[in-house]
Amino acid sequence: MPSRSLFNRRPLLSVGLSLSLALASVLPADAATQLRIGYQKSSTLISLLKSNGDLEKALAKQDVSISWHEFPNGQPLLEALNVGNIDVSADVADTVPVFAQAAGAQLTYFAQEAPSPSAQAIIVRDDSPLRSVGQLKGKKVAVTKAAGSHYLLLAALAKAGLKFSDIEPAYLTPADGRAAFENRKVDAWVTWEPFLSGAQQQLPTRTLADGKQLADYQRYYLTSTAFAKNNPQVLAVVFDELVKTGDWLRANPRAAAQVLSPLWGGLDPAIVEQANARRSYQVRLVQPQSLKEQQKIADAFVAEGLLPKAVNALDVTIWKAQ
């Protein structure tokens, strides 16, 4: 059986956002000589750039070096960005900035990936009696809190005429969610790529719903507002390299899977390739109108009492290439 080390548990590296805000620091006004990049296992394009050295070569022309910092998921990643421990966040799911914004974090959107609705789904075991999302009422569902899959679950339940309170949520990391699902400790699991393809190819599963017609699943790249103001030339290089890498991956899916397989804990290249086929990897500048779904996400979480306060998702800073 293919290695599942991608799903192994990693210790949390973060503190709560409330503490993060209290400790927030301001970046120096002079130009950066080192770019500190935070990323996750699922940060595909940044993982490729870390592996091939292209970004380091491009930034060396500006006498800027790079340090890389891995996080278990998007929430601690943005917490680290907010307190000034990193300068740039690799892609995070659309829900994550909404939670950070609700906590008062001062962050700047600088790029986004086009929608990838099929890159997350609600799955059950193949022999489960559950055949529809409506049948999840009263059932235990594993989901990662504040992840994109969390919003997919809310949207799918609403479409089926259910509220979030109609299910029993089990807030679990992808690693713990996979274990609970595999050992039948939960009735369903909501997850994203590459965890989704890993489960589908290694276990007998059925899909109750994916993001199509429910959740666009746009992934965003962020930076601190101070870093964006002081280092536009650095962000321009990062943006250009992300675009190039996304283009290369789409043109070379098998080669990309071979590179990513060892980076993702020896995950079978066939699983990696399937996971990547469900992501757009089309990196583009963020336009205010493209944040409309961010408002839908915020409103859905507020309505269910899962977000501490209402958020104006358009009231954010967006970096513009010069």
The ranges assigned to domains in the chain are 9-115+218-268+282-318, 117-210
- Phi first, then psi: what are they for 100, rounded to 5°? -65, -40
Higher pLDDT pick, 274 / 15: 274
Q: What is the largest CA-CA distance in the chain?
A: 61
In the chain, the percentage of residues whose pLDDT exceeds 90 is 81
At residue 160, the 3 state secondary structure works out as coil
**Residues, the chain, total?**
322
Q: Can you tell me the distance from the alpha carbon of 92 to that of 74, in angstroms, rounded to the nearest whole number? A: 5
Confidence of residue 15 (pLDDT cuts 50, 70, 90): very low
53: exposed, middle or buried (Cβ count in 10 Å: 0-12, 13-18, 19+):
exposed
What would the pLDDT profile of 111-125 be if each residue is shown by its tens digit? 999 999 999 999 999
Kindly report the pTM of this predicted structure: 0.86
CATH architecture observed for domain 117-210: 3-Layer(aba) Sandwich (3.40)
For residue 10, the model assigns a pLDDT of: 39
pLDDT confidence of 42, banded at 50, 70, 90? confident
> Quick one: pLDDT at residue 28?
45
Q: Please name the helix (run of DSSP H) or strand (run of DSSP E) that holds residue 108, with its range, or none.
A: strand 107-113
pLDDT digits (tens, 9 = 90+) for 142-179: 999 989 999 999 999 999 999 999 999 999 999 999 99
The torsion angles phi and psi of 136, rounded to 5 degrees, stand at -75, -5
Greater confidence (42 vs 166) lies with: 166
Lowest model confidence (mean pLDDT) among 74-83, 174-183, 246-255: 74-83
Matching fold, domains 9-115+218-268+282-318 and 117-210: yes
Q: Is the separation of the CB atoms in 194 and 6 below 8 Å?
A: yes
> What's the whole-number average pLDDT of the chain?
90
CATH code of the domain made up of 9-115+218-268+282-318: 3.40.190.10
Q: How far lies 286's CA from each of 61, 99, 233, 319, in Å?
A: 26, 18, 17, 8
